Amino acid sequence: MNRSRVHLLVVAASLVVAPLAGSPGTSLAAPAMAPSSRPRPVAAVPCDPLPGSAPQILPRALDSVGLNFTNDMLEPGDSASIDVCALVDTLGIVREARVARGGTPYDSAAVDAVRWWWFRPAQRDGHAVPARVAIHVVARPPRDADPLTPDVFAMALAAEAEGNTGDAIDAWTGALARHGAHPAVGNEWIIRERIARLAVSMREPPVIPLNLVGKARGAHNQMLRDISRATNADLADQLDDVLKAVPWYSDAYRWRASARAASGQIAGAVRDVLCYRLVARDSLGRAVADRALTALVKGDTLAALSMLKY
């Protein structure tokens, strides 16, 4: 998390819970960005509690991600506060996020960020329970940052609006490549989600160059031979290079989740499993993702590795 840009506060509001339907990863909402790069305020909805008895312990953020700022968001440069209502399930995954108080140019960016946060779930009588919680986000656009050139966010959204799936994937992949290199790109995960949803909407998935297939399989073969923490951390970095170039490569997400779990990067492993679930084209892959996610959250790393590594 870039603490200079995002401040979080879990608001201890009255929360009430009820069981959620669906398996892990099934209800991540569709991308919320409008088909324009110009930021628009989002209609606020109260963060109403779920029916049932209130938990004794509220959800607590374990790991957060930053915001993406389009070129239009960089122009005013002023910070703003947004309250995002997050529905957190028993695994700490955000199943739904919406603006509870906003009216700022950064509303959608804040929602997109909170959707990829990871929480310690609410507790009632010693058991994890789903609950809604209000998250206070302070959006601080990077000052004196150069505009993105080319404006990959605008290009991606325009291509989506025109139905040009291939061009949209190319533009979003260009945006992903700027994560870590440009201060306006703080949320790689919503970009990966958009690419995944576009890729699975195609009859045939985008091509994965053979050299990148070879690099990913080489990393996988090495992780089968070496279970050391340091080696797996290095292999996760190698697979990160692959997944920045081809962020629809399902096996690479699965293998990077394994490498991250083996090297203690649990939050990253959880998000990789969620991405693997998004790009999986069959029910078996999604079922593996669900079981691995449950094992990771419960701290059973060996069980998760047995599902992800092989």
Query: Confidence band (pLDDT; 50, 70, 90) for 171?
Result: very high
Burial 229-246 (b: 16+ CB within 10 A, else e): eebbebbbebbbebbbbb
Using one digit for the tens of pLDDT, what is the confidence trace for 60-100? Answer: 999 999 999 999 999 877 899 999 999 999 999 999 999 99
Query: Confidence band (pLDDT; 50, 70, 90) for 44?
Result: confident
Nearest-CA neighbor of 177 among 159, 198, 195, 197?
Answer: 195
> Residue 38's pLDDT is what?
58
Q: Give the rounded percent of residues in the chain with a pLDDT score beyond 90.
A: 81
> Angle at the Cα of 213 (from 208 to 216), degrees rounded to 5?
130
* pLDDT at residue 12 greater than cutoff 60: no
Using one digit for the tens of pLDDT, what is the confidence trace for 217-226? Answer: 999 999 999 9
Query: Confidence band (pLDDT; 50, 70, 90) for 149?
Result: very high
- The mean per-residue pLDDT over the stretch 253-270 comes to 98
Query: Confidence band (pLDDT; 50, 70, 90) for 158?
Result: very high
Domains of the chain as residue ranges with CATH: 8-139 (3.30.2420.10), 210-308 (1.25.40)
> Residue 39's pLDDT is what?
65
- Whether the CB-CB separation of 191 and 179 falls below 8 Å is answered with yes
- The mean per-residue pLDDT over the stretch 291-300 comes to 97
> Residue 18's pLDDT is what?
31
- Whether the CB-CB separation of 101 and 83 falls below 8 Å is answered with yes
Query: Confidence band (pLDDT; 50, 70, 90) for 35?
Result: very low
Q: Is residue 103 left, alpha or beta, with left meaning phi > 0 and alpha meaning psi from -120 to 50? A: left
Query: Confidence band (pLDDT; 50, 70, 90) for 9?
Result: very low
* pLDDT at residue 4 greater than cutoff 60: no
* pLDDT at residue 284 greater than cutoff 80: yes
